[in-house]
Chain A
């Protein structure tokens, strides 16, 4: 406690005034002879104690009146370390307004986002006019609205009014970091970051990073303001994708829909509707029961009549958080998919088995099938892979390719880098020892290959039996689908995963060594087998699981491509297109818009022409056209974690707010936290009224 005008405290000497008056009255005595003494004696005997008490009380009250008045005019204040969050006196603050999708939940007239805006307006109305305030919208993509703390509250309110809810996910780390940096240059006043959020659990997913930020900026108080109490009960669609990976004309494609129940009660008989291209009913399904906190899914098959871009929309009945009651996926429906099987002339006949597995139908019907394998020599690959993206093969199978020329490996490297898929079956004619000498090819490989190991005839090696974690082989975790442990090897290349590489093991040998490895390389995917696809090496091509294995492998590879049609909010959409379109305007029909609008030009680089579109902040389907012809569709889906509206543990927020600050600040950083003069004036008034009433009562009584 200190005083802004300590000199006024000298006025406490005025305490002597009531005392002096009191004493003066006591000691300035006049004397008189008196005859009616007995009446005075009687009165004094009965009233003296009360009179003395009343006098003392009045004296105390009058002294108190003077003391409180003097103290009030001396302006007592509570000072403390800067950033303690007081709204008294000018402060520097950065407001972080959570505009993630979950802020759209509503239990009444206003959603959390509007409630937060209202709360911010109230706070702005109450702070010192000399304060400086910045405003950020925070989600997993923070947006500065007023990037530097400014005193122009009008601008701030305008920015607040214009602020809109997004479909982004929740993450505070970047926003807090930006806000802390914006406050860094400000000194001499309390600094705080005010986070207006619904407190969804996902908000504090990176609590440790937030805590570290709080410690890194000890002069800044992080003050979470939780809006709306606990989260609303919610049912939300968290997953919608084509389970088979490849959507082709006339072939049923299964779509997987998963729904989360983040409410406290069990949901029953939840009906899910599927719409094709927003207008055509494509199927329905009902989930009989979803327990609290559980996620349940259904699969609905959908057939496409025409090739090209399509969108699928799944919806459930609306609830308090409508953003996740509908979810959209985009698929590129193909009429056929080109696959190249490259093997040397002397190579083993693995390509034959693969082609059969790719087209598991009668040869006379093969021309109608959507997969169209094409054989060629490895030397022919550079030419095939240099075609425009729409004419390039979707997958290249490299079966016992023999010696690979640098031109081939370079072409393969560029192909995969640009999104191509490469499946490698090394064989007897593959001099794998030289592969490591070719940097372009080595970069592609998720593992290194050792010399061929022959297994003993009576002790063949097998694949693992259960415990598959990869999407391709997880299907065989269910014994009803067969047993991959019956896949045996006569010989194999021992695979060693590259250190630090993010390779996934699709299948391993019974001894635990990797047998099939997959990893991403740039935009593409590479799969490496440990053996040739021929009966001399393994019984895999003859195994009953081989056809479904290859089909699932194709679905997986295509799903990687298809996944590029489903984006997170704010993610850039990039689509290779025909070179002829280069330089032309493309239009985009955005979610909620009735018509397409010109959004940019088809650009290009060394890899070819492509469409690049960045304004993907809204969830829904985007349709891209060039010269009024549909070129592509893609979907933006909100982060699945936004559907779980359960709030984070309050102690985590307290943990952020209670990071020690005082130790980092010297005395010079002490700022006014609270002024008491108004309170004292109130006390003064009360004491005055009490004194006046008491004096009146006493004078009336006497």
Chain B
């Protein structure tokens, strides 16, 4: 599946975005019935007698102490968890070297993730942020509400500056229950603010996944000739011959990515590079495969 499926018009309409997400996700999940997010928000269900081969970690030693018989604790696995989808809508997300912008890609990615989560009867909360939370959809575990999520995503227009740290703090205040926080952003922001946001999520026991959404031109800077770069988040312009600065830019940008990765490692957040030139399935499969491995 390629980015060709990400028609900018389709992304801007709720129905079309929902269908798109469903198509992407179902195309990926053919033959897959188990939730990659299983075993997180779990509740006790019943005991059964131990049989050789069972995982001894689940032995209930209290029952053994009372009855001197081995029982295995069984848990309710379809318990809902809450996934907070944070989508950056700052102006810098409006850059796209091809047909789609980083924001388009982020919206489809968020839609796909929402689709996966809701169809498993887990809960999704959606935060569309800029310098602050621009739109917030409280958590819902009703699959019927998926259309609502898609419409809110489709209607979202990126604009203005960004203050991701501030936005994450706000999201943290909304997310009282432990869950998963999925941040979809280019992270072109104050790195200290981002760090404080991640730190708060990490200390409150949330699992954080950072999808850094970047355009291939930002990653490779392939311009030649003379270009005037117009800042999407300001009024400044810069005229230069990119050939003259490519190496320095790439080094600078590479250092930035490295700092982000180290920051994620520091706060035990999982980092995923969402290259908009690659298909969403590829991005998703890489991440979901990781989740499966982590679950086992």
Contacts and interface: CB of A to CB of B under 8 A. Distances in A.
Contact of A31 (B92, B218, B230, B233): B230
Contacts of A27: 226
A158 interface: no
Interface string A22-56: 00011111111111111111111011100100110
B249 A37 contact: no
Interface in B239-257: 239-241, 243-249, 252-253, 256
A368 interface: no
Interface residues of A, number: 29
Given A29-B228, A47-B248, A40 B238 contact: yes
Given A26-B226, A39-B253, A33 B95 contact: yes
Given A26-B226, A31-B228, A701-B247, A36 B218 contact: yes
A702 interface: yes
B227 A42 contact: no
Given A40-B229, A43-B248, A29 B188 contact: no
A46 to B, nearest CB: 7
Contacts of A55: 244
A36 B185 CA distance: 13
Nearest to B92: A35
Contacts of A46: 248
A47 B245 contact: yes
B186 A29 contact: no
Given A33-B95, A35-B91, A702 B232 contact: no
A221 B94 CA distance: 84
A34 B249 contact: no
Nearest to A43: B248
Contacts of A47: 244-245, 248
A27 B248 CA distance: 23
A36 B230 contact: no
A119 B166 CA distance: 92
Interface residues of B, number: 36
Contacts of A37: 92, 229, 231-234, 236, 238
A30 B94 CA distance: 19
Interface string B88-107: 00011111000000100000
A244 to B, nearest CB: 104
A587 B45 CA distance: 152
B244 A32 contact: no
Interface string B203-232: 000000000000100100001011111111
Contacts of B253: 36, 39
Q: Interface centre among A30, A37, A42, by most B CB within 10 Å?
A: A37
Report which residue of B227, B231, B240, B248 has the largest number of chain A beta carbons within 10 angstroms of its beta carbon.
B248
Contacts of A42: 252
B159 to A, nearest CB: 13
Contacts of B238: 34, 37, 40-41, 44
A612 B75 CA distance: 150
Greatest chain B CB density within 10 A among A29, A38, A43 is at A43
A53 to B, nearest CB: 11
Nearest to B256: A39
A702 B92 contact: no
A39 B259 CA distance: 14
A30 B232 contact: no
A35 B232 contact: yes
Contact of A702 (B94, B102, B239, B243): B243
Contact of B229 (A25, A28, A34, A702): A34
Given A30-B228, A33-B95, A36-B92, 16 more contacts: A25-B225, A26-B226, A28-B225, A29-B226, A30-B226, A32-B223, A34-B232, A35-B218, A36-B188, A37-B92, A37-B238, A39-B249, A39-B256, A42-B252, A47-B245, A702-B244
28 contacts: A25-B226, A28-B226, A30-B225, A31-B230, A34-B229, A34-B231, A34-B232, A35-B91, A35-B93, A35-B95, A35-B102, A35-B188, A35-B218, A35-B232, A35-B233, A36-B253, A37-B92, A37-B231, A37-B232, A37-B238, A39-B256, A40-B229, A40-B245, A40-B249, A43-B245, A43-B249, A51-B245, A54-B244
